[in-house]
Amino acid sequence: MGKRTLIDRLAILADAAKYDASCASSGSAKRNSLSTNGIGSTEGMGICHAYAPDGRCISLLKILMTNFCIYDCKYCINRVSSNVERARFSVDEIVKLTLDFYKRNYIEGLFLSSGIIRSSNYTMEQMVEVARKLRVEHNFGGYIHLKSIPEADPALIEQAGLHADRLSINIELPREASLKSYAPEKSGAVIRSAMANVRYGIESRQPDRKERGKARPPRFIPGGQSTQMIVGADQSSDKDIMTTSASLYSGYKLRRVYYSAFSPIQDSSGDLPLIKPPLMREHRLYQADWLMRFYGFEKDEIFEARQDGMLDLDLDPKLAWALGRRERFPVNVNRATREELLRVPGFGTKSVNRILAARRHTALRLDHIARIVRSLKTCRDFIETVDWHPSRALDLVTLRDRFVPQPQQLQLL
């Protein structure tokens, strides 16, 4: 077989990077102008969309440096025992690709991950070198997200942090026991220790406000650190997953935990499921994650009505919680505290801010709320306004049925 071209390798290594959810791609229809003499394509390899720390949606070149790997994680298509097609970029090739794509305005940054070649330190050195060359030799000001290798020397991860906007270290699986059986070369303790080092790196470089006039410490991952957890590869319940997330957020000050539904892979181990978990499970986990981070919920509250530790796939977790805690409703939107309002189904953080601002000027009626929230149907039975009370709706045994999506008859043809 002849030497692969850069485009061939880009196709392989961009495809291999798609399993990483920590910068999710937005969906789009397939379109390619090659045959029409036009310009632009939605099929460009390796370009995905992600959200920058300031909330902007940016396009990133999302690739692996290589999909060769000396590890044998059972859930991974790139494991050493997989017979997938392999490829590798050199440091200079990644730098050139990034700069070329950037100059053509295709991308605003780079997301770089890699399989482990030779050793963790060697692989991490190569990734750091990509970031260093971009920043120092080419003055690249775009976004750089590096996936760090937890087993690498902390000094290398530190170097990575000086050049990257964000670092992520994958926790991989929610339970240590699962990690041991599916990824024997990895260790939860090593992963957490690498996260702790990154946290220390961030905190030790926070400028001290009291010491004005002193030189600012060097920039260190302004976008913070994130991680990814695979969902549905092992028997962990949603509660196990949220327990791990809660400990990661509090212990290592992570910006985000990404949940990635396990994708069945070819020639996989018999221990792994043959089908993907429902996509809705991933979605519900993100909703539960938001409840913990922005709505003041404790992890145990989210699961208090669920004996099996699994989130209800039919209802969003806040609505499911409210249906189980009806004694806390209706909430009076004119008098309730911010914390109470945040627990009303259908009220987001923005709607709560708008309610708090509006009620300073007037006593709120139901039509005011209708103009503030996206759907009155979700919140109406849980609130009280000057002209509305849900009366006995909260006592109805059938209240849940109002919110559960109705089953649909499948079409025969």
**Which chain residues interact with ligand SF4 by CB under 6 A?**
69, 71, 73, 76, 78-79, 115-116, 183
- Outline where DSSP puts E strands in 118-165: 143-147
DSSP 204: H
Nearer to ligand SF4, 73 or 311 (CB): 73
Question: Minimum CB separation from ligand SF4 for residue 175, in Å?
Answer: 16
**Of all residues in the chain, what percent are helix, strand and coil, respectively (each to 5)?**
40, 10, 50
Question: Minimum CB separation from ligand SF4 for residue 383, in Å?
Answer: 47
- CA 294 to chain centroid, in Å, comes to 15
Distance CA 410, CA 388 (A): 39
Distance CA 340, CA 343 (A): 5
Nearer to ligand SF4, 73 or 128 (CB): 73
Question: Minimum CB separation from ligand SF4 for residue 29, in Å?
Answer: 31
Pick the closest to residue 205 from 217, 221, 222, 223 (CA basis): 217
Question: Minimum CB separation from ligand SF4 for residue 116, in Å?
Answer: 5
Question: Minimum CB separation from ligand SF4 for residue 224, in Å?
Answer: 22
**Helix and strand counts by DSSP (H, E) for the chain:** 15, 9
Nearer to ligand SF4, 122 or 294 (CB): 122
**CA-to-CA separations, 392 to 101, 329, 366, 382, 398, in angstroms, rounded:** 61, 11, 17, 11, 12
Nearer to ligand SF4, 118 or 350 (CB): 118
Nearer to ligand SF4, 69 or 383 (CB): 69
- Outline where DSSP puts E strands in 239-339: 256-261, 331-332
Question: Minimum CB separation from ligand SF4 for residue 392, in Å?
Answer: 54
Question: Minimum CB separation from ligand SF4 for residue 72, in Å?
Answer: 6
Nearer to ligand SF4, 48 or 183 (CB): 183
Distance CA 290, CA 229 (A): 16
- 310-346 as b/e: b if 16+ CB within 10 A: ebbeebbbbbbbbbeeeeebbbebbebeeebbbbbbb
Torsion of CA 216, 50, 226, 77, to 10 degrees: -140
Question: Minimum CB separation from ligand SF4 for residue 78, in Å?
Answer: 4
Nearer to ligand SF4, 72 or 340 (CB): 72
Q: Judge contact between 146 and 62, C-beta under 8 A.
A: no
At 238 the three-state DSSP class reads: helix
Nearer to ligand SF4, 183 or 302 (CB): 183
Q: Judge contact between 245 and 289, C-beta under 8 A.
A: yes
Question: Minimum CB separation from ligand SF4 for residue 23, in Å?
Answer: 16
Nearer to ligand SF4, 183 or 336 (CB): 183
